[in-house]
Amino acid sequence: MTQTGSYDIVILGGGSGGYACALRAAELGNRVVLIEKDKVGGTCLHRGCIPTKALLHAAEVADLAKEAGEFGVVASFQAIDMPKVNVYKDKVVDRLWKGLQGLLSGRKVEVVHGDGRLISPTQVAVGDDVYEGTHVVLATGSEARSLPGLQIDGVKVITSDHALMLDRVPSSAVILGGGVIGAEFASVWRSFGAEVTIVEMLPHLLPLEDEASSRQLERAFRRRGINSHLGVRFSDVKDTATGVLVTLENGKTIEAELLLVAVGRGPVSAGLGYEEAGVAMDRGFVLVDELWRTNVPTISAVGDLTPGPQLAHVGFAEGIAVAERLAGLPVTPIDYDGVPRVTYCDPEVASVGITSAMAAERGIETEEIIYNLGGNGKSVILQTQGQAKVIAAAGGGPVLGIHLVGARAGELIAEGQLIYNWDAYPTDVAKLIHPHPTQSEAIGEAHLALAGKPLHFHS
């Protein structure tokens, strides 16, 4: 093997956490090498956040075309041209990818393309080349999971990676898993005209969200014609002449063109030398402390590779924090409850803080208000349905959680993030004047009600 040189930081993995760490570390004057086997940007840019949201926007345009007559607009919806949708999607990804490459180049981050492997606490090998650093940051991300005995063939039984590459709209699909990925693809394909059925082993869609939000989404999906089998496990899948026959544990069968397996994502760590280098692991995840340090003093890890929320913006924050810690700057742990979470289906679901169930588990007494968007002027204009739920500590205490369902909820949750992370009280937020007519008023109205002075609110 050939020693290529010494670096302050060697980063293995060029996704959200890895490239954020590289950019910040280089900005702080470090010599950085970023090793990525595919394209910088990782899952989020190429196979996750960005392409899926492009599809969701195309789906929104399709729905608007179908519903144009309700607004007095003469238009007609004819069909989805999937190859053109993919051209639009790929242009979005390509533009952002080129921009990221420019950022890395501008900050003089050395980018190495190839399969990297940790060979010591300070060295990563790519082929015969060895990159040595004072510090190593592991950021190899995650990949789609399957279930034991379920064979992904990429044709009839697919993952989200395959779904993003489809050149057609499936006539019908069964989605195994009612989490974020399952809900988003269900929303897209239904808008595009497919018959969609979700199978979720837990009692509700989006099981990590507040139950009130999950129930609201389930009602909205039923109105859209998206079928759900909740609280039931998958049993078997067989090929048919036209697709697949899916059998559930209760004996029900569903025939469809495709089965999308969306049962979560697992860490990419197998065969990368982590355990051999002495890094503590658990079920493939790299274990870290509150400042993303592993048990090996020279090695840190960030993003989906570690236990915790698998969110691109979490990877960004962790990568930046590690770069600053390694530069000797003060760094504080992340309150993961305070990280916004968004599912970009129709309607969108967004939240920050704790759920009612989490409050009960932690023994916290709460006061809760649900404000229906049926009383919100902008929501009526947009003809969207949903709600804003605010959870506060009992006795006039601080806001502990904000949970939104409705159009553009992902944009609205930024205010919720500030309210939660600044330990605001309902009485504090009730003093703020929200612009009218906007959906943000729903947040204000819910806090007014919690503060004991409801306006457009029916209990």
The residues that are catalytic are 436
With beta carbons less than 8 A apart as the criterion, state whether 133 and 82 touch.
no
Phi, psi for residue 342 in degrees, rounded to 5: -135, 135
With beta carbons less than 8 A apart as the criterion, state whether 138 and 284 touch.
no
Residue 403 CA, chain-centre distance (Å), reads: 16
**Core vs surface per residue 45-71: b (16+ CB within 10 A) or e:** bbbbbbbbbbbbbbbbebbeeeeeeee
Cβ neighbours of residue 429 closer than 8 Å, sequence gap 6 or more = 399, 419, 443, 444, 447, 451
- Note the helical H segments in 282-406: 312-326, 356-361, 377-382
Task: Give the three-class secondary structure for 354.
Answer: coil
DSSP code of residue 287: P
First to last CA, the chain: 71
Please, which contacts does 81-86 make with residues 24 or more away whose CB atoms are closer than 8 Å? 82/166, 82/167, 82/168, 82/169, 82/192, 83/167, 85/55, 85/58, 86/165, 86/167
With beta carbons less than 8 A apart as the criterion, state whether 237 and 259 touch.
yes
Please choose, from the candidates 248, 295, 260, the residue with its C-alpha nearest in 3D space to the C-alpha of residue 274. Answer: 295
Structure tokens at 251: 């004996």
CA distance 198 to 227: 6
Please choose, from the candidates 9, 36, 37, the residue with its C-alpha nearest in 3D space to the C-alpha of residue 23. Answer: 9
CA distance 238 to 245: 5
Cβ neighbours of residue 182 closer than 8 Å, sequence gap 6 or more = 175, 176, 198, 200, 205, 260, 262
Task: Give the three-class secondary structure for 391.
Answer: strand
